[in-house]
A and B are shown apart, each in its own frame.
Chain A
Amino acid sequence: MSPASSDQTKGVKKLRSIQRAFATGIMRPLTPDQHMKPKWVDGTSTKKAVAKFVKPNDRLTSYERIEIYNRQYWYRLIDCFYEDFPGLRALIGEKRFYDLTVAYLTKYPSNSFTLRDLGNRLEKFLKQNPAWLVPHEALARDILKLEWAHIVAFDGEALPPLEIDSLLGGDPATLRLGFQPHITFLACSYPVDNFVLATRRREEPKGEASNAVTNRKKVKAAPKIARPKSEKIWLAVHRSDHSVFYKRLEPEAYLICTALQKGLSLQAACEKALRGKKNVDDFGSKLQAWFTQWAAFGWFCPAE
């Protein structure tokens, strides 16, 4: 290695160490009164730690300068989370939702260039930390699944759809169908579709990435919407004509869709849906109506 390239390697190593220290400073949760934590990660003084790499000026200490970024980090991410999960926020309440957001993002900081993916490990986090959802755990999990499905449906991939005609004449024992990547099928223990729709109506339109600093928004109180009572529902969260819809399905329709999604043939999927059913006389016409409608929505695409 030439002396020049050795110096460059050392220089980039130093740059990385500064970036790690800076990121450590700004990604740590704020104190309850919205300041940077006074203790650094090793228990020493944060003021001393940041003064090692950030200069003060005539108006601000090194600590105060980094604190601007520390606040911006949290304001930006919390705003994004409020927009992505309005239903969960309405259910568990303002304070708990804020604390949950901070706890989640501390454990799982963003691992993607896009804020769209910020909540991609929230379900996993809540499985590991179910206490956040007590006493409405099942309802909260249903809401969370629906709100993540909404994000997927909003901008997920759409493949060229299969027309209904292309399904006709195929052998049901071997015919396999795929679904658009933006569709999610959900079996819920609560009618969360109405609940989430009600909360979304109360929210501002979704924000965008920009290169501006985020002002601390005055957070509106979580909308007070009655908690739904337990009732099984089955949903397809999909996109049609560029808008997201929550379509309720009959349980047999849900079983067929999820079986097809798993790669079962059309015949096997229908058999699964009908297993244990006594009265199946009108099933043929129902099936025809469902498939016609689903094809009209453009749900089908070739199986992988």
Chain B
Amino acid sequence: MPANRFNNYTEYGIGIGLRVPHYQHILSRKPTVDWFEIISENFMVDGGRPLKVLDSILEQYRVVQHGVAMYLGSTDKLDREHMRKIKRLVKRTNTPWLSDHLCWGSVDGRYTHDLLPLPYTFAAAAHVAQRIREVRDYLEVPILVENVSSYAEFHASEMTEWEFLSEVVEKADAGILLDVNNIYVSSQNHNFNPYDYLNNIPHHRVGQFHIAGHSKFEKYILDTHDHPVLDPVWKMYAHAIKLTGPTATLLEWDDRIPSFDEVHREALKAGKFCEELVREPSIL
């Protein structure tokens, strides 16, 4: 299955999140990596070391931008200054697509710096879709929206999370960054079958995957990104790529970050699932 229009028809393979503890290793040893994902907001600065590092990475590697603060589900107006800075960064990185989360995080000009869940209503879906269209028209790159992990559900919801995600991306004609770990975390926190989620979204819109580790507590699971990917998530990922075809995949590891080599090894496990699909396309 070829790459699709939501990832600009690019075949990107397996990427790693670019993180500060690995800068020196990457810049000095130049390891072979298909691509790096950057958190846009860490580089939306006016100058200094972050941009110097980014420029050095761009000389050697392909970079994809992933945001954490566009807050597509917020009811405040889109932050024009934020958008201008993202656009400036898009020009710098030449990112083939840009992703951010299906969430909200600010209200009345106050920022929570968190990825907060939305009530799954038709009005919210239409509102988010409208904002995604605005963002895409301004930034002029394909937009992927990522499902977040969540710990709360709303009385106001009118549909399931996967129905909501589908409604949003269909209305916005946007792509999906499918975070398999987030689906697993939310399925455990909200008692649903994660395979119902995987089976019932528009697979042709999935332009990228995220995989990550999580932490289990007595009554809930937290999306901590501080562990290797756990078995149930690998199983879901294997199932998901059978539905979507080999798709750009990114391992997230944001806390208690081990050596670059350890993170890279973990990420490359995803490549094995994709290679299997390429060898035996009949299983698609």
Contact = CB atoms under 8 A, between A and B. Distances in A.
B276 interface: no
Contacts of B82: 113
A16 interface: yes
A54 B123 CA distance: 18
B155 A26 contact: no
Nearest to A80: B113
A209 B151 CA distance: 20
B254 A12 contact: no
Contacts of B275: none
Contacts of A125: none
Interface string A192-209: 000000000000011111
A208 B44 contact: no
Given A8-B126, A11-B123, A209-B68, A58 B191 contact: yes
Interface in A53-81: 53-55, 57-60, 62, 64-66, 68-69, 72-73, 76-77
A197 to B, nearest CB: 17
A210 B39 contact: yes
A16 B75 contact: yes
B284 interface: no
A27 B112 contact: yes
B279 to A, nearest CB: 33
Nearest to B19: A208
Contact of A242 (B48, B119, B122, B151): B48
Interface in B34-70: 39, 41-42, 44-52, 66, 68-69
B264 interface: no
Interface residues of A, number: 63
A232 B137 CA distance: 54
Nearest to A11: B123
A211 interface: yes
A69 B107 CA distance: 15
Given A59-B220, A158-B47, A208-B42, A111 B110 contact: yes
Given A14-B123, A19-B75, A155-B46, A205 B21 contact: yes
A69 to B, nearest CB: 7
Given A73-B112, A113-B69, A206-B20, A8 B123 contact: yes
B224 A215 contact: yes
Given A23-B112, A213-B223, A215-B226, A15 B124 contact: yes
B156 interface: yes
Contact of A19 (B47, B74, B101): B74
A109 B252 contact: no
Interface in B216-271: 219-220, 222-226, 252, 254-255
Contact of B114 (A12, A62, A76, A155): A76
B4 interface: no
Contacts of A68: 151-152, 220, 222
A207 B216 CA distance: 24
Q: Which of A20, A55, A77, A210 has the most CB of B within 10 A?
A: A210
A65 B151 contact: yes
9 contacts: A18-B119, A23-B110, A57-B191, A69-B114, A113-B82, A206-B20, A208-B42, A213-B224, A215-B224
Interface of A: 7-8, 10-12, 14-16, 18-20, 22-23, 26-27, 52-55, 57-60, 62, 64-66, 68-69, 72-73, 76-77, 109-116, 153-158, 181-182, 205-215, 239, 242-243
